[in-house]
Amino acid sequence: MIRVLPYFLYLLLIAMHEVIWKDIAGLYFMALNITAMIVVMVATYKTETAAAWFGFLAGLVLAATQPTTMGWHAILLAAMGVGVYHIRERLNLESIYSKLLLIVGAVLAHNIVSLFINGTDRFFYMLWVYCLPSAAYTSAAAWVFFLFKERIITAQKLKSVF
Amino acid sequence: MSQITSLFPKDWRNLNFTLIVFFSILLIIDVPAVNQFTSQAIIKTLYFPFFQFKSLMVKMGTIAYENELLRQKLVEAKTRIALLDEAARENERMRSILGFEPPAGYSLLPTRVVSVVYGGNQPVAAVINKGAHDSVSIDQAVVNQQGLVGRIKEVMNSTSMVQLLTDPANRVAARIADTREMGIVKYRTGIGLMLDNFPVQGTIQEGDLIVSSGLGGVYVAGLLIGNVQGVIRQPDEPFCEVELRPAATFSSVEEVFVLKSDIE
């Protein structure tokens, strides 16, 4: 049960983002794709099965308010989890930048496929104004997260600056 | 056996993927009951607390906005009440003025004080909102329902300057209303309104009414100036010092009348 708790908290985080944080964190057309980012994180640090199941559940949570697209989002994120896991297994992901590259690619792929799932008639326009900027924006957020996670920035260092 | 156990993880992995694909396809083919149930279950368990939180925040924002709006309305209402109170007070003053009659041969020109000039801590002059266009001229007496206020000192087109009795430079020829004995009313800084040049052997006592005598031609005879507040007789002095309590309240003068002769 305790092993499952973190995943449940990640799902809660996704739900919170969808309800509260999404509108606040949005900049112009850019949106923070927390869901894809968390799935990549899980796939980077956990097992293949965990990544697949978490991707599946994250897809369900993400599309809970649009029941007709739930299955597509679930299988998309599950596949993304498995894919990221295999990339991690085959590549050296010690550097923050390689992880960020993975996140940019995953978020971009997720945004593009989501466009098709949700249906859009202006694909290239949306690709330019939404998919690419959102991927950059999300990777910037992930970069800040990694800076703290890898202890490149710590609370003590921040205090010493001020 | 070892071969079986070594195969198990692979099968376990395949089973997981098969389940994920199966559930995904089930949701993709869009069986309404399954999709609705899954959606409702997720919304009720994961989304619900955040929906509640968000609606609470929205409610609080609305309440804060309403609060701000109500505060603004309260200020407006308070201002309106203050204006109405002021109008009520003015109405009361106007009612008391209604019965005020001018001396025979004179008519009253109602005016409003627009500003007051102070000398020390006492008002010495007032500007009224009537001037030459309203036939106001220099040396006309200015009164209110309480008594004599002063005289017109300067006249502009639409305003005039009134020299109040409290101006030390102002003099009024006066007499005691009952005994008809005369003196000169003037204001002494630091002491107040005095009746000067009143002989020590004259008959005067506290409470006697002092009115204008009409001598000198500026003030009409019989205008109430005040009453005697105190009399000081010095043995070696030919005149006594008579302190007066003015009839008009100069510090709160607002509506006054210019006395215009009907003959002019």
Domains B106-167+252-261 and B171-248 share a fold: yes
User: Taking CB atoms and an 8 Å limit, are A11 and B51 in contact across chains?
Assistant: no
- Token couple for B46: 């994961």
pLDDT tens-digit readout, B16-35: 889 999 999 988 887 888 88
pLDDT score of A2 more than 80: no
Other CB atoms within a 10 A radius of the CB of residue B67 amount to: 10
Nearest-CA residue of chain B relative to A12?
A: B46
CATH code for B171-248? 2.40.10.350
Q: Nearest to residue A112, comparing CAs of A54, A40, A41, A36?
A: A36
User: Taking CB atoms and an 8 Å limit, are A78 and B36 in contact across chains?
Assistant: no
Query: Which residue reads 């070696």 in tokens?
Result: B236
CA distance A72 to chain B (A): 6
State the Cα torsion A129-A133-A135-A137 to the nearest 10°: -140
Q: Nearest to residue B151, comparing CAs of B229, B241, B216?
A: B216
B33 touches chain A (CB under 8 A): no
Which of A15, A67, A70 lies at the smallest CB-CB distance from B47? Answer: A15
3-state SS class at A30: strand
Number of domains within chain A: 1
User: Taking CB atoms and an 8 Å limit, are B20 and A56 in contact across chains?
Assistant: yes
Mutate to test the interface with B, among A60, A82, A86 (most CBs of B within 10 A): A60
In A113-122, which positions are buried (b, 16+ CB within 10 angstroms) versus exposed (e)? Answer: bbbebeeeee
Nearest-CA residue of chain B relative to A15?
A: B47
CA A37-A73-A138 angle, to 5 degrees, is: 20
What's the full length of chain A, in residues? 162
pLDDT tens-digit readout, B29-58: 878 888 889 999 999 989 999 999 999 999
CA distance B71 to chain A (A): 29
Task: Indicate which CATH number applies to the domain containing A37.
Answer: 1.10.1760
pLDDT tens-digit readout, B207-260: 899 999 888 888 888 889 999 998 888 778 888 889 999 999 888 888 899 988
ipTM value, please give it. Answer: 0.82
A57/B78 Cα distance (integer angstroms): 59
CA distance A154 to chain B (A): 30
Q: Nearest to residue B106, comparing CAs of B254, B215, B238, B262?
A: B262
CA distance A53 to chain B (A): 7
CA distance B67 to chain A (A): 24
A7 touches chain B (CB under 8 A): no
Q: How far is Cα of residue A36 from the mean position of the Cα atoms in its chain? A: 2
A43 touches chain B (CB under 8 A): no
B90/B110 Cα distance (integer angstroms): 14
The domain ranges of chain B are: 106-167+252-261, 171-248
pLDDT tens-digit readout, B182-199: 899 999 888 889 998 888
Range of the domain at A17: 5-161
- How many A/B residue pairs have CB atoms within 8 Å? 78
pLDDT tens-digit readout, B80-131: 999 999 898 888 877 777 767 777 888 888 899 999 998 878 899 999 999 9
CATH architecture of B106-167+252-261: Beta Barrel (2.40)
Phi/psi for B158 (5° steps) reads -125, 5
